[in-house]
Amino acid sequence: MTISKVKGALLALLFTVTLGAATSVQVTADAATYTTVSSKNVTKTAYHKKSTSGAIYNQAHNKRIATMKGYPNTTWYVTKQATLKHSNSKGIYFYVSNKSGSVKGWIWHGYLKKGKAPFGLKYAKNAVALDYTTGKAVWSKNANTARPIASVSKLMTLYLVLDKIDNGSGKWTDIVKTSNSGLVAMGNSASCGGFKFYSNHKYTVKELYDAALLDSSNNAAIALGQWVSGSNAKFIKKMNAQAKSWNLGKASFVSASGLENSDLKAFGYSYGKANANMVSAKDVALIARHLIKDYPRVLTDGSVGSKTVNGQLCYNYNNMLPGRKYYQASLNVDGLKTGYTPLAGYCFVGTGQKAGKHRVITVVLHDENEFTETQSLMNHAYSLGMDA
């Protein structure tokens, strides 16, 4: 029997428990242990998985430590080599450990290949890292595939608000109409609201801008769109026209807020035939680039952790800002926008600038680990260069 068949037979006897890449799994095998024929130290060398096949065991091979499938983007460092025997078969095995040393053990050499693991994001379905200065993508994953983007859509809405103020046809102090019953109901909704429109209050453009940017208020974004264009329908047409003028071929809007029509219908704000705004990660990054380039104040406005707006606390859920869980000082993150709906998943547009480097804009869509993966993506983008 070949060594690969022996391993296959052994694996068939294992009871497998999958806990994800972050957890080492140890399973006892009901089979005779392996014996060591010979062993030697080798120069520390980087390897990575050859495919999703293979697993790491203790030297006796009666406990499984981890699977290659569970660690898709890990670099393994080999420091020992051994010939192990099982029944009448022998094979060459490597002693490996990940960078932190939290996972280590023995694996058949044929499951690995030399070199560090290529960079990848495990959770994001679509992602991109854009060099702000050049406008070029330095890394991407399915970046040209349009998908729902939730409240990240508000970047286009806020751009058009800033554009109206910049061209002199509107002012920050303008009062925005917020009395529509649908907008009031939306603000009172547990799933679609958060920022309330009270009947005895007046709200300025600046207040609703802050509510939409920081608190991701959906009714504020829709009200602002109506202020810009006169109606919700006209504003959505303006969003699409702006995308077309920027040659964004993977951007189509039906909502000023990012809510899907399946939610907006109850409030009287559904529009068009599609259910959701459909935009690619690359086009989202380009929208963010236009916004930052034309209206850099959005970085100052968007880096505020929280703010009281017309008596209501607006909390910024960007957890990469100073003082937050995923803050990394060297990245100098100062924006930009979070988003979530069950359909779109967790979405995040991040931006920051390392000293001596170009600004980076990152987008992750449908990512259950959006801040960790954004931090990894930013650091990887800077490892590729982007010098100022």
Q: Per residue in 310-319, pLDDT tens?
A: 999 999 999 9
Which ranges constitute the DSSP H helices of 167-252? 181-188, 205-214, 218-229, 232-245
- Any idea what the Cα angle at residue 56 is, between residues 55 and 59, rounded to 5°? 135
pLDDT for res 24: 37
pLDDT for res 72: 84
| Strand stretches in the chain, DSSP E | 27-28, 35-49, 55-57, 63-67, 76-86, 89-97, 104-108, 112-114, 126-131, 137-141, 147-148, 175-176, 203-204, 251-252, 278-279, 306-309, 312-315, 333-341, 345-353, 359-365
pLDDT at 19 exceeding the cut of 60: no
Q: How large a percentage of the chain has pLDDT more than 70? A: 92
Q: Which tokens go with 243?
A: 């995308």
160-174 core/surface letters (b: 16 or more CB in 10 A; e: else): bbbbbbeeeebeeee
pLDDT at 225 exceeding the cut of 60: yes
pLDDT at 26 exceeding the cut of 80: no
Q: What tens digit of pLDDT does each residue of 90-107 get?
A: 999 999 999 999 999 999
Distance, in Å, from the CA atom of 198 to the CA atom of 125, rounded to the nearest integer, reads 39
Q: What tens digit of pLDDT does each residue of 189-219 get?
A: 999 998 999 998 999 999 999 999 999 999 9
Distance, in Å, from the CA atom of 234 to the CA atom of 171, rounded to the nearest integer, reads 20
Q: What tens digit of pLDDT does each residue of 246-272 get?
A: 999 999 999 999 999 999 999 999 999
Handedness of CA 128, 162, 242, 176 (dihedral sign): positive
Mean pLDDT of the chain: 92
Q: How large a percentage of the chain has pLDDT more than 90? A: 86
Distance, in Å, from the CA atom of 336 to the CA atom of 338, rounded to the nearest integer, reads 7
What residue type is assigned to position 171 of the chain? K
Beta-strand pair 76-86/89-97:
antiparallel
pLDDT at 16 exceeding the cut of 70: no
Q: Which residues pair with 335 in a beta bridge?
A: 351
Element (H, E) at 381: helix 370-383
pLDDT for res 224: 98
Q: Which tokens go with 241?
A: 């026209």
pLDDT tier, 32 (very low <50, low <70, confident <90, very high otherwise): low
Q: What tens digit of pLDDT does each residue of 33-66 get?
A: 899 999 999 999 999 999 999 999 999 899 999 9
pLDDT at 12 exceeding the cut of 80: no
Nearest by Cα to 52 from 70, 77, 76:
70
Could you give the residue numbers annotated as active site? 151, 154, 216
